[in-house]
Amino acid sequence: MAMRMKDKIAVVTGGASGIGKRAVERIVEEGGRVVIADIQDDRGLRMQEDMGDAVRYIHCDVTAEDDIKAAIAKAVSTWGRLDLMFNNAGTGGDPAPVDEITVEGWDATQNLLVRAVVLGIKHAAHVMKPQGSGVIINTASVAGLLPGSTPIAYAAAKASVTYITKCAALELAPFSVRVNCICPGLIATPIIAKSMGLASQVADQTIDAVEKAGALFQPIPRGGRADDIANAVIFFGEDAASWVTGVVLPIDGGIASGRDPREIGQNWAKIAEAVGGEWSVQP
């Protein structure tokens, strides 16, 4: 197999679960080495144990600037450089509707999903600018492209991440540091069940059920997998993408392309029924 991440040094926030975990595994499979930065110490340490020398775990709460700085410092002190920063940690955020949102809930969501991304870019840039190379990848969401699919605090945070990605891409381009972001659709990870109130341990057991139940959530009729996102991390991270920056990439089975004809078809059928006409277009 071609080693697309050979000798690349990465930091992955939220690397102990879901999308981040699969990204860690893929980077290592492709010849890279990774600092996993997360708050789930048991899982992170288990990955370090299982994956051997290519992986180090550090406790890192991305809402604390010093923790982010320390995660990057660990990559540099262990392996001498930083090639890839994956700002990915997150939760479903505050679920309140706009007329009930509290200052605390709003701030906590933005601090975790937006400020942490900015700080991840900031501290990665401190290493990458002098290096004259590096890739920063941020996890946004299809919810940041199309309002209506998640609560407002999460959607607004993810929309910010898409804009921050482009701003930072332009600022860092003169130093050959690239910044891109991925907008996942529904991906079968524990975040879905956790957002619905299930405990972390229980949510871990729901991946297959979410993937199966999510088969019709988007135009392509299969559930989204962490692998779908991890593959894009490898694409952005490898040297073959050295001219790719400022990209906001939906990976969502088609959600961001527009309204799903299957749903719209049901509405057209009602109009057709109301006027005594016919609606026969079946995508």
Q: Catalytic positions, please?
A: 141, 154, 158
Amino acid at 66: D
**206 scored as a contact of ligand NAD (CB under 6 A):** no
**Interface pattern 75-94 for ligand NAD (x via CB under 6 A):** -------------xxxx---
Question: Least distance in Å: CB of 50 to ligand NAD?
Answer: 16
Question: Least distance in Å: CB of 137 to ligand NAD?
Answer: 11
Q: 120: part of which helix (H) or strand (E)?
A: helix 116-131
**228 scored as a contact of ligand NAD (CB under 6 A):** no
201, 270 Cβ separation under 8 angstroms? no
CB count, 10 Å around CB of 128? 26
The rounded distance, in Å, linking the Cα atoms of 66 and 247 is 28
**155 scored as a contact of ligand NAD (CB under 6 A):** no
Amino acid at 138: N
**114 scored as a contact of ligand NAD (CB under 6 A):** no
Tell me the two tokens of residue 77.
């002190």
Strands in 134-139's sheet, in edge-to-edge order, are 55-59, 33-38, 9-13, 84-87, 134-139, 177-184, 248-251
State the residue for tokens 């040297």. Answer: 239
Question: Least distance in Å: CB of 276 to ligand NAD?
Answer: 42
N-to-C CA span, the chain: 39
Of the residues 29, 39, 70, 219, which one makes contact with ligand NAD according to CB under 6 A: 39
Of the residues 29, 63, 175, 279, which one makes contact with ligand NAD according to CB under 6 A: 63
**Between 141 and 160, CB nearer to ligand NAD:** 141
Find the part of the chain contacting ligand NAD (CB under 6 A) among 33-41, 73-81, 234-242, 243-251.
33-41
Distances (CA, A) of 66 to 69, 73, 119: 5, 10, 10
**Between 191 and 232, CB nearer to ligand NAD:** 191
Question: Least distance in Å: CB of 56 to ligand NAD?
Answer: 15
Sites of contact with ligand NAD (CB under 6 A): 13-14, 16-20, 38-40, 60-63, 88-91, 112, 139, 141, 184, 186-187, 189-192, 194
